[in-house]
Structure 1
Amino acid sequence: MLPQFEYGDEVRLIRNVRNDGTYPGMDTGTLLIRRGAVGCVYDVGTYLQDQLIYRVHFLEAGRTVGCREEELIPASAPWVPNLFEFRDTVRTTRTLAVRGKVLVELGQEGSIMKVLRDLPDGIQYHVHFGDGLVLQVPEQTLMMAETEMAEVADE
């Protein structure tokens, strides 16, 4: 089990990291670092003798977080940033219709269910708008809901 990254390597996080209860002073489930953040490997260790854990310092966030190898890529690897993540509450910036039938009104809130990153038309999302309605929506037709914006400002 050889580590892919060494001390001093710059890495990018490809998944959101939430507190699993091991980060002191924050509630379990609290978002610690958003996907796309770049940090520096500070240490490499193991967990249960079969998982490599990298201690990564994220300078912008001022946090050092333990990350599994599958959560990291080299910082120099290609990366397309996205505005929203799983569970984010968003609001539409236009009315959404299919074959002329309006399904979602301008300004209606929805919840991000999935991020679709590798599409030729850019980033899109599966968004749940309630009553079982899930639509694939381009990023430019969404904005962060005000309640989410206030929470991000508090972090």
Structure 2
Amino acid sequence: MKPEYDYGEVVRVVRNIRDDGTFPGKQRGDLIVRKGSTGYVRDVGVFLQDQLIYQVHFIDEDLIVGCRSQELIPADEPWIESEFEFGDWIRAANHLAIKGEVIAEAGSEGQVMSVRRDLDPILYEVLFRDRMLLVPASAICWPPETEPAEEVAC
């Protein structure tokens, strides 16, 4: 494993970083660093022998946070903010089909597996059960806080 980022390199976090239960003084799920924030790589370590973890100092927040490679890009690389990010749980806003076969019903829950910022417009690779679909933001939505009584509300 070769690190993508070197010590002192300025990086940008591309998704909101929340406490996974290991950050001192925070509760699980608390927002630690907001997507788009920049920081400096201070150290690189290994987790579970196969994942590089970058210790990043976010100066504006005065926090040092462990980040995975997929959560970072070089700070000077173009970055377009997206509504959804890797790991977000979403719902299909409409029926999603391939060649007339419905793959995901409206309201079906899925998980964002990657964000394709290199495409215009941005597209999302979303896993619905056992099928991966590449969809625009207009095809997905945030799940409602409570289940609607009669219809799917996105």
Separation in 2, partners of 1:80, 1:18: 20
Letter of the aligned partner of 1:56 in structure 2? Answer: F
Percent of aligned pairs sharing the same letter = 27
- Looking at structure 2, the residues matched to 67 and 109 of structure 1 have their Cα atoms a distance apart, in angstroms, of 32
Superposition deviation, residue 32 in structure 1? 2.5
Offset, 1:114: 1.2
Question: What are the superposed Cα offsets for residues 26-79 of structure 1, whole Å, 9 maximum, x if unpaired?
Answer: 22x655234x322455xx75477xx873321445xxx62324595555544310
TM-score normalised to structure 2 length? 0.60
Structure 2: distance between partners of 1:136 and 1:40:
31
Runs of 4+ that moved beyond 6 A: none
Which has a greater percent of helix?
A: 1
Given that 1:53 and 1:69 are in contact with CA atoms closer than 8 Å, whether structure 2 keeps it comes out as no
Q: Secondary structure at the match of 1:146?
A: coil
Alignment: residue pair count: 132
The amino acid across from 1:13 in the alignment is V
Cα pair distance change 1:115/1:26, threshold 3 Å = same
Equivalent in the alignment of 2:24 = 23
Aligned to 2:134: 136
Counterparts of 1:4-153 in structure 2, within 5 Å, are 4-5=8-9, 11-14=11-14, 16-19=16-19, 21-27=22-28, 30-34=30-34, 36-39=35-38, 45-46=42-43, 53-59=55-61, 64-67=63-66, 72-73=72-73, 75-106=75-106, 108-130=107-129, 132-147=130-145
TM-score (normalizing by structure 1)? 0.60
CA RMSD of aligned residues (A): 3.5
**Structure 2: which 5+ residue stretches go unaligned?**
1-5, 46-52, 147-154
Q: CA separation of 1:111/1:104 partners in 2, compared to 1, >3 Å: closer, same or farther? A: closer
